[in-house]
Amino acid sequence: MVSSEDSSKKRFPRNFSSKKGVFDLYGEMGEDFMGDLRGVGGLRIYRKMRWNDPVIGGLLMRMESIFSSVKWTYDGEEILSIDIIRNIIREFTSVFTYGFYVGEIIYSLKNGKVVINDIEPRGQMTIDEIDEKGISQINGNKPIPTDKCFYLTIMSEVRWKFGRSLLRHVYKPYYYKKSIEAAEAVGADRDLAGLPVLTAPEGFDFTSGQEGNSNYSELVKTTLEWAADVVSNIRSDEQEGVVLPFDWNLTLLRGEKGGTDTDKILRRYNTEICVGLLESFVAEGAFGSSTRGASEVGYSMFLNSCEGWVRFFVDNINKQVIERVCEYNGVKNVPVLKYTPVNAENIKDLASYVARLVNQEVISVTPELENSLLRIAKLPEREEGGK
């Protein structure tokens, strides 16, 4: 400690001078600026993206399968069962979807020693608050104490406690793609069934169906409501049929094929989703890799990024779980969890999956990205100007 009499040494500042800050408009610093993507509502959207979108779901499943090939060993005594680790790594990959992972460490005493029975996952959509005291759930259970938590975040801005999903960067193309698919489905339905047009008898006074007019008629109003209901609900199915009053005429208009090429637009959005998700996976994984700096998504960089994700998981297991148990048991020589390199065949499977999306015209990629995917799969690259 620096004495007050020692004026030759400069005092160092002990207290915080500032806070991380807040955004008055967008909420707490680190929260998403889009209200729809904040809190549990945002997690539900990411869950829907993962389970409903075939491109996103397929890519995430391929990414997650990469980790199943990793083999685990200990440098020292086995503190946490390898079987438990295999289960946790499968559950850990939910961090790609939600941006964070929470598990509760289940301890017990066995022969006078603290042992770990399991690390049970806690659903991300049940988490209400995360602070220095622990993690609280929405259902009102007691908070999980910090020393019982296995807690990870990714892509965190200013150490935002809930992290950020890998899917955040592809939400925009997903949103527009979903809207176009819905409009396309409605258009296809109308093309098949036709646009119903109901023609009233000659001399029918539509204005008398409007309340307040001098010639208002309750019968005409009811008739117009019936007509609107007929044209809104007509469908070509097993219940098809319409009963019309005398002199009313129903026709179906079918437009010419053409208009907007939705296939091309959807292909563009699928491409943006595919590229954005792969780039987020590679870029974030590179932070855990010891070899950064490559400018292309080549085979070696992708492999290093995958291993960066595994290293991120292993480092947190060693620090949050194994070291903590050793402290409880007074163990001086702390064992270390290690892993074998990621299986390259799983990475080739991912590249082959993306290549199939290209062949099936689900996505359309640039020549540079296509060659990068070919390198990942260790397939011959396309020659410049070649096919």
- Residues 150, 106 contacting (CB under 8 angstroms): no
H or E element that contains 233:
helix 218-233
Long-range (24+ apart) CB contacts under 8 A made by 227-234 are 227/198, 227/200, 230/196, 230/198, 231/196, 231/197, 231/198, 234/193, 234/196
- Structure confidence at residue 347 (pLDDT): 67
Q: Name residue 75's beta-bridge partners.
A: 336
- Structure confidence at residue 49 (pLDDT): 94
- Structure confidence at residue 102 (pLDDT): 93
Task: Round to whole Å and give the CA distance between 54 and 75.
Answer: 41
- Structure confidence at residue 176 (pLDDT): 93
Ordered mean pLDDT values, 10 residues apiece, the chain (387 residues): 52 55 49 83 93 89 82 87 88 91 92 90 90 81 86 81 90 92 80 77 83 84 86 68 79 66 85 82 60 46 78 92 92 89 68 73 65 56 54
41 token code pair: 């509502």
Domain boundaries, given as residue ranges, for the chain: 33-176+264-376, 195-253
Reduce the DSSP state of residue 104 to 3 states and report it: strand
- Residues 324, 229 contacting (CB under 8 angstroms): no
- Structure confidence at residue 294 (pLDDT): 38
- Structure confidence at residue 105 (pLDDT): 92
- Structure confidence at residue 239 (pLDDT): 58
- Structure confidence at residue 373 (pLDDT): 59
- Structure confidence at residue 383 (pLDDT): 58
CA angle, 241 as apex, 237 and 245 as ends, to 5°?
160
Phi, psi for residue 129 in degrees, rounded to 5: -150, 145
- Structure confidence at residue 207 (pLDDT): 82
Q: Name residue 153's beta-bridge partners.
A: 100
Tell if the pTM clears 0.85, that is, is over it: no
Reduce the DSSP state of residue 168 to 3 states and report it: helix
- Residues 16, 26 contacting (CB under 8 angstroms): no
> Distance between terminal CA atoms of the chain?
73
